[in-house]
Structure 1
Amino acid sequence: MHAFIRGILAAAALVFAGTAAQAYDDPWPDLQAALFPGKAVESGDAFIHITAPERAYDAAVVPISVDFDLAKMQGIVVKAMTVVVDKNPAPVAAVFHYPDGTTNPSIGTRIRVNEYTNIHAVVEATDGRLFLAAVFVKAAGGCSAPASKSVADAAEHLGDLKLKVPQEASADKPTRLELLIHHPNFTGMQMDQVTRNYVPADFVQNVTITHDGKPVLSIEGNISLSENPAFDFWLEPKSQGVLRVNAEDSNGRKFERVWMVPAAS
């Protein structure tokens, strides 16, 4: 009897080991070919650092930060950055476009993760070269997870824009700001808990940020951004001026707000 049990345990161990040894079904080679056709991609691990939870607490709101080590960039100037959640139904979560003279291209945001996946940040330099960094995140169900509010409740504050500015912000000093856009960012895969019908996709599609009329950052969004999208970004204002945010969602609704940044002392 003991030998029989040992045999069962040994067989189970072999099955488990085989399952664990199965290779990750990696969609990245095909995604890279589709998103960046004919372009070579170099490792950016020396100066690009992605921070994300190894196992996400909430798959629908996964914080992620892409930070740059400016001292190691060796003259590389960032033109754009694409954040790709490899196994999401819509893999491209966002594309960030930077103007000339960007102080620091580091970005923080929140994304949805539909299943265990790699997340890639592909950085395009002004000379056309592409650089890559990646992180693996364990999470599932983020794209179909119910919204925190009903469709009617989400509409109540739709398009409200908030900006967090550190009290120590001042002219000629790099400052990390946080923009929050109140929007349900429906994915098209969520069910209305009242009607039991699927809610049509409705998400923040474009965001443009300027300071005194000069471009700071522009963002192309998609359904892989979380509900109430948030973006951390850097600004080094030369003087006090108007920071203006214009946003538009996939249904053509437009939102705008302005702030004095840095604030008057």
Structure 2
Amino acid sequence: MMRRSPFRTAGRACLVALALCAPATGAARAAGPDPMQDAAGETRKEATRETTWAAIRLDLFPGRDIGEAGAIVQLDAPDRAEDAALVPISIQLALPAGDPRTLKAVTLIVDENPAPMAGRFTLGDGRRDFSLSLRVRVNSYSFVRAVAETSDGALLMTKAYVKAAGGCSAPATKDTADSIARLGEMRFRSFAETGRPEAQVQIRHPNFSGLQMDETTRGYTPAWFVREVEVKQGGKLIFAMEGGISISEDPTFRFSYTPSPDQVTVRAEDTEGKVFTSTFPGGGS
């Protein structure tokens, strides 16, 4: 059983559309598509896609206004995913020069997933820029949204539409028995040679969504996933995550990082209350 979270939606709105198409006349075929009709069709599609968000945003951010992020939040996601269970997502946060605020958190949402909030990432104090990459499950064609929160409480959102289906129910890509045997093992890498230093943490865990079929019993494998991650450097928070079923198996996070002699400590806890902790050299001098 998954612990109820304020970020999980209590209900989902469903929209069923019926389109009636009449055969085109010869004159209409000769004239080609009507740009005005095409534009109207796209407007209707956009409105349909936003219906789910209108229903869930009240649960995720009750009573709060959400503005357009502009250049402050950049979201990179594939238009069409190669693997719906391993969809790469990258978020770049950066406040403009002269903006007195700092960055407090960023929430990643997959509208059409059974539990839309993939993760909420709380940032360490004083951050004015931050990058984060991870892999998520996408259950059906959906908007993916990144909502940043600044130190003054403002919410700023950007979005991308991803064509993918079946990610939450897809079977594990790795040997489940091996994953369980190595449960909680962590890897840490730093990439100081890049123009913008980053690090990566991987946590070995099957991260079952609760929607995957057990091939032996033909029943559903119970949900079991990493729900909390905390990454610190020299005792200071880099980021902390509250996650859900949308994070892919073996959760992997690549993030902004400044190499230093200070050790990096990673703590993770899953939905069964198992706690995993590892410490790594900071990688700097």
TM-score, normalised on structure 1? 0.86
Residues 73/135 of structure 1: CA separation in 2 closer, same or farther (3 Å cut): farther
Superposed, 1:40-119 pairs within 5 Å as: 40-71=65-96, 74-102=99-127, 104-119=129-144
Q: Deviations over 1:73-116 (max 9, x none)?
A: 83331111110100100000000001212363221111000000
Residue by residue over 1:54-74, the C-alpha shift from the partner in whole angstroms, topping out at 9 and shown as x without a partner, is: 000000000000112444683
CA contact (8 A) 2:266 2:277 kept: yes
Aligned to 1:246: 267
1:224 aligns with 2:252: no
Counterpart pick for 1:177 among 188, 192, 199: 199
> Would you say 1:211 and 2:228 are equivalent positions?
no
Query: Using the alignment, how far apart are the partners of 2:25 and 2:127 within structure 1?
Result: 59
Work out the percentage of aligned pairs sharing the same amino acid: 39
- What 5-or-longer segments of structure 2 have no aligned partner? 1-21
Structure 1 position 34, deviation (Å): 1.7
Contact 1:103 1:235 in 2 (8 A): no
Aligned residue in 2 for 1:262: 283
Instruction: Name the counterpart of 1:154.
Output: 179
Cα distance in 2 for residues equivalent to 1:104 and 1:232: 14
> Structure 2 CA distance, aligned partners of 1:73 and 1:175?
23
Please report how far the alpha carbon of residue 133 of structure 1 lies from its aligned counterpart in structure 2 after TM superposition: 0.7
Residues 194-205 of structure 1: pairs in structure 2 closer than 5 A:
194-205=216-227
Contact 1:55 1:139 in 2 (8 A): yes
Cα distance in 2 for residues equivalent to 1:259 and 1:76: 31
Q: Which residue of 2 aligns with 1:133?
A: 158
Which sits farther off after the overlay, 62-71 or 240-249?
A: 62-71
After the TM superposition, which of the residue ranges 77-86 and 99-108 deviates more from structure 2? Answer: 99-108
In structure 1, the gaps of 5 or more residues are 1-6
Rounded to whole Å, the distance in 2 between the matches of 1:116 and 1:105 is 28
Contact 2:109 2:116 survives alignment (8 Å) = yes
How far does the alpha carbon of each residue in 1:120-167 deviate from its partner, in whole angstroms, 9 at most, with x for none?
Answer: 111111111111111110000000001124542321211111111125
Is the CA contact 1:150–1:193 (under 8 Å) kept in the aligned structure 2?
no
The CA distance in 2 between the partners of 1:154 and 1:45, in whole Å, is 40
What is the aligned partner in structure 2 of residue 4 from structure 1? none
TM-score (norm 2): 0.80
Q: What is the root-mean-square deviation of aligned Cα atoms in Å?
A: 2.7
CA gap 1:118/1:131 in 2 versus in 1, 3 angstroms:
same
Please say which of residues 143-152 and 118-127 is displaced more in the overlay: 143-152
Change (3 A) 1:103 1:122: closer
Is this contact kept in 1: 2:94–2:129, CA < 8 A?
Answer: no
Q: Matches of 2:262 and 2:49 in 1, distance apart? A: 49
SS at match of 2:256: strand
What does residue 3 of structure 1 align with?
A: none
Aligned AA (2:264): L
Counterpart position of 2:168 = 143
